[in-house]
Structure 1
């Protein structure tokens, strides 16, 4: 039978770990993903207005 660490033990060990800064490639991927999401939302909005107009 395994002796698993408790939640308190895990929390103490995680508190000791220092945060690592994001790499430039990671920052670029995050920014690119956000920009792509906004762009695609704009395209979806445009397509819905052009191809599926409302009565007003």
Structure 2
């Protein structure tokens, strides 16, 4: 176990593994949360011409 920690925290390649692993973990979490949000808020389709687009328009 000491060899693993030594590799991860005391070598450049170990730091690269931690860095890339962190990016992959955050990307997976973001994809899962985006999928759940997409299911929760359903697309209502195109807007009618009489609907306002937003506050500034």
Instruction: Compute the TM-score of the two structures, normalised by the length of structure 1.
Output: 0.49
Determine which structure has more spread, i.e. the larger CA radius of gyration. Answer: 1
Instruction: Compute the TM-score of the two structures, normalised by the length of structure 2.
Output: 0.49
Q: Which has the higher contact order (CA 8 A, sep 6+)?
A: 2
